Amino acid sequence: MTAAPGMATATVAGPAEQACCRFQQTLRRPVVVSGRGYWSGEANRVELRPASVGSGIVFVRDDLGGLRVPATLSWRVEASSRTNLQAGPATVEMVEHLLSSLAGLGIDCCEVGLTAAELPGLDGSAAAFVDAIEQAGIATLDQRIEPLIVTAPITIAEPGSVARIEAVPPTTSGLTVSYDLNYPGRPIPPQRFETAITPQRYRSELAAARTFLPEEDARRLQAAGRGLTVSTGDLLVFGPDGPIGNTLRWPEECARHKVLDVVGDLALAGRPIWADVRASRSGHRLNAALVAAVLAADRNKPSLPATGGTAKPEGGGDG
């Protein structure tokens, strides 16, 4: 994959922008979501817990003595068709739906206790996580968010493919995502969806959008011993005539789910990204590459001198 040369910049909100930024948020009390992982079939008890200001999202493997895995790009590992994290011997798998729900509802700080590696697949959407967050309630912390604001276009493209994702300066104070989905020769019809990511729109337009795959892919996975506890009622499996044993919630539900995935993958920045993001056939790997480019631009941003003078390049951490 390649990034467009010379155009990628981002900046942290300065005092003027921060005046309009909300305060960080966490949960009011712990809440539990339980279910089985799609890939492994293992049961997992997921406890979402309040966390302190500035702590971000951190997974805790309760079954491994409390080993911690931060939900940031530094800990991402390659995996097929999902987003996985690893810190030392502790892995956390298929995190994108939970991270999407937390980001979509504006939860910045949360500890996520787990009793297994893979998060529950549930019905293939983020709806159960959103319901749990709302049940727990949202608490405001005493420090404002510091969004990463994209100030010039960043494009990530897959060589030899039409897959691409780009971020351009935001037209709103926040994140807007559009997704064009087109798989020629597959039973899933071409479709597009776009929305501004606000808690209200996330609840009503994205949370219930389910993951999907063609029937031949589902059969291939189960033949390899994966997803043996999953049925066509647990996600959208497309045959020649549409979803098998299931009904679409929206005509463009697949594109909505892809937007949901983008929101979850962008959460690996560790801070909200403010940009208009446009994706076409982008998957988790390209989404992560966009996060890396935004963080790299932030590291290379010019520093502001305390008193007059010329701004000099600033070294940075890993974002």
Joined together, the tokens standing for residue 140 give 């405001």
Question: What distance in Å separates the CA atoms of residue 31 and residue 113, rounded to the nearest whole number?
Answer: 10
N-terminal to C-terminal alpha carbon distance within the chain: 21
Angle (CA) 254-259-263 rounded to 5° is 145
The DSSP symbol for 224 reads: T
Question: What distance in Å separates the CA atoms of residue 221 and residue 228, rounded to the nearest whole number?
Answer: 9
Catalytic residue among 284, 286, 287, 297: 284
Question: What distance in Å separates the CA atoms of residue 120 and residue 98, rounded to the nearest whole number?
Answer: 9
Q: Judge contact between 61 and 111, C-beta under 8 A.
A: no
| DSSP β-ladder status, 57-61 and 110-114 | parallel
Is 284 known to be catalytic? yes
What SS3 state is found at 236? strand
Q: Judge contact between 64 and 88, C-beta under 8 A.
A: no
- Which is nearest to 274 in space by CA: 22, 26, 59? 22
Q: Judge contact between 117 and 94, C-beta under 8 A.
A: no
**C-beta pairs of 180-185 under 8 Å, 24+ apart in sequence:** 180/255, 180/278, 180/279, 180/280, 180/281, 181/252, 181/254, 181/255, 181/258, 181/281, 182/280, 182/281, 183/281
Active site residues: 284
